Amino acid sequence: MTFSTSISSSHSIFNFQQQRYFNLHHSHTTRNVVVCSAKPISPPKLSAVDSSKDRIGSLSQVSGVLGCQWGDEGKGKLVDILAQHFEIVARCQGGANAGHTIYNSEGKKFALHLVPSGILNEDTLCVIGNGVVVHLPGLFKEIDGLESNGVSCKGRILISDRANLLFDFHQTVDGLREAELNKSFIGTTKRGIGPCYSSKVNRNGIRVGDLRHMDTFPQKLDLLLSDAASRFQDFKYGPEVLKEEVENYKRYAERLEPYIDDTVHVINDAIAQKKKILVEGGQATMLDIDFGTYPFVTSSSPSAGGICTGLGIAPRAIGDLIGVVKAYTTRVGSGPFPTEIVGPGGDLLRSAGHEFGTTTGRPRRCGWLDLVALRFSCQINGFSSLNLTKLDVLSDLDEIQLGVAYKHADGTTINSFPSDLDILEQLKVEYEVHPGWKTDISKIRNYSDLPKAARQYVERIEELVGTPIHYIGVGPGRDALIYK
């Protein structure tokens, strides 16, 4: 299988998906491509680890798993695997816009959105931190689904009393906001995440802890709903709407009470007791509100800083951070995507990787692995190691490309990932072309058993990014992981 792709981002700022497609075999006059030589690549010197137990056992007391790209990298699977060796798994930001797909030991699939991915490990306590925005109807639906499939949640989930509540009207406002933006829409999941964080920052949001004071709850909710009605002409609001919602939340409050806790105290007390804590990030660094492709970003901080603010953990307590990155790149919604493959090539990669959103079902945009974005992500987060996922998806390709550098139109190198959309619009990507391995690797469990071309691809990524790859995903199941 051979893909066609373009390396120029000369397209409208608000139409990043327009055609950028031409054939690899006729691209030598128009593209910046470096063909890799057959000379073996010397991998960076990594400490020898004899087994997965040693690898995981060496992780620090407070470790984290964060996304490196635009989300959907497969963070949930690694969290699920590592959770067997941690006593607490905690979500620090985002909301039900995060979709983490995991499989239990029998191969049964679970799609999680708010509940941390450690829930399948019965000895793990799952914490939803203060930085998360919580949609209670969705959370209860998720818990009911887990319970009906034999996964006990009682006494195993704690929700911060400081977390903000996400209401159905936030979702309505999300859709109205996207419609208002018209052609410059962000491409959100319409799960109400942005409007809820806006309420939080406007300081009129409602917290989980407010459910313990139902005498003042109606006034607070009325303020929120009235504000939305004044802002959007199509937002319908009246006394009956308020009355119905208050009655709903009286029932929700009663059910939620056993889950509510001061999780800042719980987490810090656990640290003092030397318990092992694994932090699970939602979304990813290139969607960070500060560091991502603004404004085409999420409304929280899915990078390392979000751990401190989203859980109340001191920076000095945080140890190993593992970055999760696909062996290629995907993103959903609008926004710049320099290494995107538009046309049949992108369709083939999407089909091979089953690239459709866990939360929305939307087809993901697909492209080559972008090492400029990955290096930027590693700099921001200080990852101690990487988890390269979906390497098996590339198995049928004749050749694979790596986006290794960004260039201005005059050929000068761009030193980092630009914040300026005008620069992202006009840059050119320099690629290396690597040979494919044309072999099914989904059953391989030892790194040395991978085809030589696959190992060279992995080691080239390590060499250019400067961060070791300790975990390699070769399939969706728990066991489909190579420890390097």
Q: Which residues are annotated as a binding site for GTP?
A: 71-77, 99-101, 364, 390-392, 473-475
Instruction: Note if the bond before 295 is cis, omega within 30 degrees.
Output: yes
From the candidates 113, 135, 170, 200, which is the catalytic residue? 200
Q: Which residues contact 422 (CB under 8 A, 6 or more apart)?
A: 13
Interhelix angle 136-148/239-256, rounded to 10 degrees, is 40
Residue 253 has a CB neighbour count (10 Å cut-off) of 18
Q: What are 144-149's contacts with CB under 8 Å, separation 24+?
A: 146/110, 146/115, 146/119, 149/108, 149/110
Q: Fill in the DSSP letter of residue 116.
A: -
Terminal Cα distance for the chain, rounded: 28
Question: What DSSP assignment string belongs to 387-407?
Answer: EEE-GGGGGG-SEEEEEEEEE
Burial class, 32, CB count within 10 angstroms (exposed 0-12 / middle 13-18 / buried 19+):
middle
Interhelix angle 168-181/193-202, rounded to 10 degrees, is 100
Q: Fill in the DSSP letter of residue 466.
A: -
From the candidates 11, 100, 135, 276, which is the catalytic residue? 100
CA atoms within 13 A on the CB side of 373: 32
Question: What DSSP assignment string belongs to 273-307?
Answer: TT--EEEE--S-GGG-TTTSSTTSS-SS--STHHH
Contact criterion met (CB below 8 Å) for 307 and 60: no
Q: Establish whether 80 is a catalytic residue.
A: no
Q: Which two tokens stand for residue 89?
A: 């798994």
Q: Establish whether 11 is a catalytic residue.
A: no
Q: Which residue ranges are tagged as binding site for substrate? A: 358-364
Q: Establish whether 39 is a catalytic residue.
A: no
Name the residue type at position 81. Answer: I
> Which residue, among 332, 85, 64, 60, has the nearest Cα to 185 in the 3D structure?
332
What is the greatest pairwise CA distance in the chain? 73
Sign for the pseudo-dihedral over CA of 276, 130, 241, 178: negative
CA distance 180 to 420: 24
Q: Which residue ranges are tagged as binding site for Mg(2+)? A: 72, 99
**CA distances (Å), 341 to each of 16, 53, 333, in order?**
11, 38, 15
CA distance 473 to 394: 12
From the candidates 11, 72, 276, 288, which is the catalytic residue? 72
Q: Is 59 helix (H, G, I), strand (E, B) or coil?
A: coil
Q: Which residue ranges are tagged as binding site? A: 71-77, 97-101, 189, 203, 283, 298, 358-364, 390-392, 473-475
> Which residues are catalytic, by number?
72, 100, 200
